[in-house]
Amino acid sequence: MTDLIRKDKGQPLRDAMKRRGMTQAELAARTRAVDVRGQGVSVATVAKVTGSGETAAEKCRLRTAWLLATALDEPLQQHFDMPSVSTDTVERCNPHGDSELG
């Protein structure tokens, strides 16, 4: 599953919350309102993603990021970056096998 990286250690998220006068608990409640499943994001997860302390998380799941951005009524890209290309997805062998003869 793809994880997104929050921008600027979560400052854009905190700024958006401040502009809207939202607490972490209010943002969590708003994620439930925009979630078609009605689950939303827990207050604990909102605190980890929007926080700035030692317990803050730099990454979160795509679904979490999408729900947070939607609840804030702002573009996902304003708050999160996609991870760089993983070396796990880079082809490492030549098209004729793992070793070259010759």
Q: What is the pLDDT of residues 33-77, one digit of tens each?
A: 999 999 999 999 999 999 998 999 999 999 999 999 999 999 999
Q: How many Å apart are CA 57 and CA 9, to the nearest integer?
A: 9
Residue 53: DSSP 8-state: S
- Give the CATH fold of the 3-83 domain: 434 Repressor (Amino-terminal Domain) (1.10.260)
Neighbours of 46 (CB within 10 A): 28
Instruction: State pTM to two decimals.
Output: 0.79
